[in-house]
Amino acid sequence: MLNNVAVLLLDEVHPFELGVLCEVFGLDRSEEGLPVHDFAVVSAEGPELRTHAGFTLTTPHGLERLEEADLIAVPAGSHFADRDYPEEVLEPLRRAVARGARVMSVCSGAYVLGAAGLLDGRRCTTHWRHADGLARRFPKAIVRPDVLYVDEGPVVTSAGTAAGIDAALHLVRQAYGPAVANAIARRMVVPPHRDGGQAQYVARPLPRDRCDTVGGTLAWMEGHLDQEMSVEGLAAQAHMSPRTFARRFQQETGTTPYRWLLRQRVLLAQHLLETSDETMDAIAGRTGFGTAAALRHQFVRSLGTTPHRYRQTFRGPSAVPEAV
């Protein structure tokens, strides 16, 4: 169970991520028959902490409060990717996991868990903007940049900002069952579970800066996404053998021609779903998928949600109704 919950704060904490944890675990909802937690906000760096929004926070609880917790949650903060963390902050996290408690991070709070060695050999996530940095700093961590949260035994990590709600409700669902998680979600006016992952929200610019020999081909591919393409045809256009073209493409873009093409087609489909009322068949034709069924299949594989749900997410329930 999660009877005792402590939130570990470091200087320049982000108020929203802290607020998420307070809202899910810190409110007394006993009048609705919901569980009440022994909840505390713990300061790791003195009685007064700055937030990145310019105001300060105070709490009477120090690090000793962590020793009682069933769950220790670490919200995001500024400069977490660059700073070092003192042992007196990291050791209680290790002890918590060793005695069977759970630890959780929201967004860049994953850097604190990584510094404690708790991400080594474990799948984890963070905000997509921090994913590469987290993997570089903690090479033994298995970073998943495309998901909303990861539950890896005693360690739960979540992606940016609102994904902390998803992870926190997941823990509530595990501890008390879906009825309790759904009731808290209703109070918060959020879905009890979201489809897909943070791949839906990632902005990925085209990798043109290192494309010395295939840059022209990339530009042509981007302008003709509705057409059939093959490595042989693209290689001929670039005046290379298929083998040389495939090798250069991999070297300069970091991926294969097929995967690059698929990603650009999905990106175009996302754009059309967000900005137009075109039918799924029309979007499938413009993006080179051919049929609405093929569009749906590749969209779900890439983003973890259907084109119809994606359109509703980014345009609201008034979006053109589709069965796909």
Distances (CA, A) of 272 to 53, 90, 255, 264, 307: 35, 46, 24, 12, 10
Amino acid 76 reads: A
Our measurement of the distance from residue 273's CA atom to the centroid of its chain's CA atoms, rounded to an integer in Å, reads: 21
Sequence-distant (≥ 6) Cβ neighbours of residue 188 within 8 angstroms: 23, 24, 165
| H-helix segments, the chain | 15-25, 87-98, 110-115, 131-137, 163-176, 178-188, 215-223, 231-237, 242-253, 257-275, 280-286, 292-303, 307-315
Q: b/e per residue, 133-165, with b = 16+ CB within 10 A?
A: bbbebbeebebbbbbbbbbbebbbbbbbebbbb
Dihedral of CA atoms 311, 313, 314, 315 in degrees, nearest 10, equals 70
SS (H, E, C) 69-126: CCEEEECCECCCCCCCCCHHHHHHHHHHHHCCCEEEEEHHHHHHHHHCCCCCCCEECC
- Which of 22, 107, 124, 211 does the annotation list as catalytic? 107
Annotation says 124 is catalytic: no
**Catalytic residue IDs:** 107
